Amino acid sequence: MTDPRQGASGEPEDARGAGGGGFGPPPEGFGPARGTSPGPARGASQSPPRVPAQSPSQSTPPTPPPPAPPGAPHGGFGPAYDPADPGSPTPPGIPAQSGAPSSFPPPPLYPPGPPTALAPPPGPPAAPRGPRDVPRALGLALLDLSGLGIGHALLRSWGGFAVALVSTGALALVALPADPDGVPLALVVGWLVILVLLAAHAAARGLRTTRAVPTLPVLGLALVLLAAPVLAGFEYDAARDRAQHARLEKQLLDRLGEADRTVARYKTSGYAGHESAFSSALTAYRDLSRDHPDSAAAHKVPARLRTYYRTVGAPFGKGDYCEAVDPLRHLLTVPRTMGTGRVPEDLAAWPAPRLATSLYGCGIGGLGTKDSSTAEYHLTALLEEYPDSPEAGKVVPEVEKHVSFSLKDKGGESPCDATSSLQTLADQATSVAKADGAPAATVTALGRQADRAKGGLPTKTWNCALDAYHDKDYAATQSRMRDFTSRYGKDSRAPLARKYVIAAQVADELPAAGKVKPTTSSGGSITVTVRNDSPEAVEVLYTGPVTGSFQLGGCESCKRYEWADTLNPAFKPCPSGRTYPSKTLRLPAGTTYFLHKPRSGSGLGGSPATDTVKVRGGYTYTECAYTAKGFGSSGIDG
C-alpha cells in the first residue's frame, strides 16, 4: 500500500530516496506541520485529499499516484526547494533569504507527534495452481509405492524422497541376507504404512502441480518400478526358502553326525552290551532316509550303512564266531527296519552267509565240551535256518571226526577226557538230529555217530578208573568204578570193578595195599578166621592174592576196651571162653591186607583199623577185631 503523501513512483528507489521520497513520514520540519493546512506551493499543484491507511491484512495492490506535471521536481512532500527561485520556501535549517516573504507558517510550539504507522509491504504472490491431472498424480503415487521415493524426487520434495530411501534401506538392512524366520511382521507393516502415506502425499501434490512432470512417462515408469517390490518379495521368499532349506540341511547333517559318532564310539567294544545305542543310530539313519529322502544327509546314509555293517559285524572278521552270531542276526533285521529299497542289495545279502559260517564255527567249537548247549544250539540253528548251506553239509563229517579222535587208544585223548568227550558227543549228536527241517540223511548220520560215541564209553570209562588206581587216586577210583558198575552192570568187567572198589578202600587206609592189582580170583588153602570182639558191627575188607569183603555183627557180651589197656604188652583181645561173631576165610599164601570199618549207624563210632597178614601154608590164622574207646583197632591171634 502507498501513502497518499508519497510522490510519483516513476523513479527507482535509490532516486526517490535521494530526493527525499520513499515510505514513511516526511522529515521533521519539512512540509506542513501536523494540524495545519498548508497553502499551495509554488510550481506545484494542490495535493490530493488524504486517504485513510489500510490494514496490513488487505491484499489489494495500492493505486499508483498520478504522475507529476512536467517540470515538477521529483521526490519529497510539498513544493520543492529551489535556491534560484526567491519565491520557493526555505527548508528547515536553511536561513531564509532576506527580503523574501515566507510562505510557511511559524513552527509549532509543541514537538511533533509520532509518525503514522504504515503497513509492511506485501509478500510474493502465491504460486499459480495448474489444472487437475489425475493420471499424473496416480503415477507419482505408484512411483512412491515402489519404495524408492521417485515420486517425491520428481516433485523436488527431497524430504519425502529421503524418508522413502531410509525406510526401504532399513527394511533391506534387516531383511538381508534372508533369514529362515523371515522379517518381523511389525517392520513390514510399518514400511508399508510409510509407503502408503508417501504415495498419498505425492498424489496430493502432483494433482495440480505446475512443475514439468510428464504424465504418460511417469505413469509408465511407475508401472515398471511397481514391479520391483513385487519381484523383490518373490525373490526374498525364494531366498528365505533357500535359507530354511539350508538350516534344515544343517540340522539333518547334525543328526547324521550324531548317529555316526554313536557307531564310532562303540567300534572297539562291539555290539554286545550296546544294542540300544546301535539301534538308536540305525533309527536315525532310517528317519533321515524316510522323512527327508532328497536331503544331503539322506544321500550319505548308504555309505554310513556300510560303516554300520562293518562295525556291527566286526567279530566275524576277527574269527570270533560265537560273538558274531548276535550282531549278524541284528544285521539281518536292518532292511526291515530301514524299509524297502533303502539298503543296498549287497549289504542286505551280506549277513546271511556269514551267519551260517558263524553258527557252524561256533557249533563245532563246542563239540565234545562240557558246555554242550553251545554246540547243540548253534548247530541246530544252522540246520534249521540254513539246511542247504555248505556249512550244514559239514556238520556230520565234523561230528564223526570228533568221535573218532575220542575213540583212539593212542594219539588221542586221555581215557578220562575221552570218556567225557564221547558222552558229550553222543548227547550233542542226538540233540542236533532233532532239528526241524534238517535233511533226513543228516539226521540218520548224526544218529549213527551218537551210537559210535556211546559204544566207546564203557572202555573209556573203565580205563579212566584204572588210571585213577594207578595214579593212587583211590577216592577217584572208588567213584569211577562205582559209576562204571552202575552204568554198565552187565559188562564183563563189572565184577572186577567191584574188586577195585574194595582194594581202593583198603589202599586208601593202608597205602601198601595199592601195590596189589585186584583180581576176580577166590579161595585158597590157608584158613584165616576173623572174629569180632566188639559190641559194634564191623565190615572187613581185604585184598592181596584174593580181594573181598564181608560183615560181622556186634558181640553183645563184649565191651569196648580202654585205650590204656591196649598199651599193656600182655593185652590180648578175643579171650577164650566166649562166643564171638566170626567168619572163616580160605586164602592163598601171600600178603593179605585187612581193613576193619565200623558200620555206620551203630552209634558207637570208632575209626577204621588195618592189619597186614603174611599168610603161609601149614598155619591157621585168627584175626580179631575189637574196639577201644576213641579208637578202632584189630589184632591177630595166630
Output the nine-digit C-alpha cell for 277: 545305542
pLDDT of residue 585: 92
Residue 307 is assigned to a structural domain of this protein: yes
Q: Which of 31, 216, 16, 212 is nearest to 112 (CA)?
A: 31
pLDDT of residue 71: 43
Model confidence band, residue 126 (pLDDT cutoffs 50, 70, 90): low
Model confidence band, residue 177 (pLDDT cutoffs 50, 70, 90): confident
pLDDT at residue 75 greater than cutoff 60: no
Model confidence band, residue 111 (pLDDT cutoffs 50, 70, 90): low
> How much of the chain exceeds pLDDT 70, in percent?
73
Q: Mean pLDDT score of the chain, rounded to an integer?
A: 79
Average pLDDT in the 448-471 region? 95
pLDDT of residue 146: 76
3-state helix, strand, coil in the chain (%, to 5): 50, 10, 45
Average pLDDT in the 296-311 region? 95
Residue 268 is assigned to a structural domain of this protein: yes
CA atoms within 13 A on the CB side of 416: 13
Measured in degrees and rounded to the nearest 5, phi and psi for residue 482 equal -65, -40
pLDDT of residue 4: 36
Calpha distance 367→363 (Å, rounded): 7
Residue 395 is assigned to a structural domain of this protein: no
Please state the three-class secondary structure of 405-468 as a single string.
Answer: HHHCCCCCCCHHHHHHHHHHHHHHHHHHCCCCCCCHHHHHHHHHHHHHHHHHHHHHHHHHHHHH
Angstrom CA distances, 501 to 176, 278, 472, 492, stand at: 101, 59, 13, 16
What is the number of domains present in the chain? 3
At which of 323, 357, 391 does a domain end?
357
Output the nine-digit C-alpha cell for 345: 542289495
Average pLDDT in the 18-47 region? 40
User: Is residue 263 a contact partner of residue 308, using CB atoms and an 8 Å limit?
Assistant: yes
Q: Annotate 24-83 with DSSP letters as a single string.
A: SPPPTTSSSPTT--PPPPTTSPPPPPP-PPPPTT--SPPPPPPPPPTTPPPSSSSSPP-T
What is the pairing mode between strands 620-628 and 631-637? antiparallel
Model confidence band, residue 214 (pLDDT cutoffs 50, 70, 90): low
pLDDT of residue 330: 96
Say which residue the cell 513520514 belongs to: 25
Q: Which amino acid is at 379?
A: L
Q: Is the same domain home to 197 and 256?
A: no
Q: Is the same domain home to 194 and 301?
A: no
Q: Is the same domain home to 526 and 633?
A: yes
Residue-wise burial string across 457-468, b where 16 or more C-beta atoms lie within 10 A, e elsewhere: bbbbbbbbbbbb
Q: Is the same domain home to 254 and 328?
A: yes
- Report the residue count for the chain: 638
Q: Is the same domain home to 252 and 202?
A: no
Find residue 620's DSSP bridge partners. 527
pLDDT of residue 475: 95
Calpha distance 479→498 (Å, rounded): 11
At which of 317, 332, 357 does a domain end?
357
Q: Classify residue 317 as exposed, middle or buried by CB count within 10 Å of its CB (0-12, 13-18, 19+).
A: exposed
pLDDT of residue 182: 67
pLDDT of residue 91: 52
Least confident of 225-239, 341-355, 359-373, 616-630: 225-239
Residues 86-105 have pLDDT tens digits of 554 555 544 544 444 445 55
CA atoms within 13 A on the CB side of 440: 0
Residue 383 is assigned to a structural domain of this protein: no
CA torsion sign for 101, 105, 110, 115 is negative
Model confidence band, residue 59 (pLDDT cutoffs 50, 70, 90): very low
Q: Is the same domain home to 280 and 208?
A: no
Calpha distance 613→546 (Å, rounded): 13
pLDDT of residue 210: 60
Angstrom CA distances, 91 to 27, 31, 78, 104, 109, stand at: 10, 8, 11, 10, 18
User: Residue 566 maps to which CATH number?
Assistant: 2.60.40
Calpha distance 372→431 (Å, rounded): 10
pLDDT at residue 432 greater than cutoff 90: yes
Find residue 527's DSSP bridge partners. 586, 620
Residue 542 is assigned to a structural domain of this protein: yes
Apex CA 525: angle with CA 615 and CA 505, to 5°? 55
pTM, rounded to two decimals: 0.60
Q: Which domain holds residue 280?
A: 248-357
Model confidence band, residue 109 (pLDDT cutoffs 50, 70, 90): low
Q: Is the same domain home to 520 and 627?
A: yes
Q: Is the same domain home to 275 and 209?
A: no
User: How many other C-beta atoms lie within 10 A of the C-beta of residue 507?
Assistant: 23
Calpha distance 47→69 (Å, rounded): 12
Calpha distance 619→542 (Å, rounded): 19
Q: Which of 548, 553, 554, 462 is nearest to 505 (CA)?
A: 548
pLDDT at residue 497 greater than cutoff 90: yes
Model confidence band, residue 563 (pLDDT cutoffs 50, 70, 90): confident
User: Does 210 or 236 have the greater pLDDT score?
Assistant: 236
Residue 62 is assigned to a structural domain of this protein: no
Q: Is the same domain home to 521 and 600?
A: yes
Model confidence band, residue 474 (pLDDT cutoffs 50, 70, 90): very high
Residue 310 is assigned to a structural domain of this protein: yes
User: Is residue 400 a contact partner of residue 447, using CB atoms and an 8 Å limit?
Assistant: no
pLDDT of residue 567: 82
pLDDT of residue 10: 39
pLDDT of residue 530: 93
Calpha distance 397→624 (Å, rounded): 63
pLDDT at residue 178 greater than cutoff 70: no
pLDDT of residue 201: 84
Say which residue the cell 566188639 belongs to: 534
Residue 401 is assigned to a structural domain of this protein: no
Sheet (strand 526-533) strand order: 582-587, 526-533, 620-628, 631-637
At which of 357, 374, 390 does a domain end?
357
Least confident of 385-389, 414-418, 435-439, 608-612: 608-612
Residues 529-552 have pLDDT tens digits of 999 988 889 999 999 999 999 999
Calpha distance 509→397 (Å, rounded): 49
pLDDT of residue 603: 45
pLDDT at residue 107 greater than cutoff 80: no
Q: Is the same domain home to 270 and 319?
A: yes
pLDDT of residue 352: 96
Q: Is the same domain home to 177 and 255?
A: no
pLDDT of residue 11: 39
pLDDT of residue 504: 96
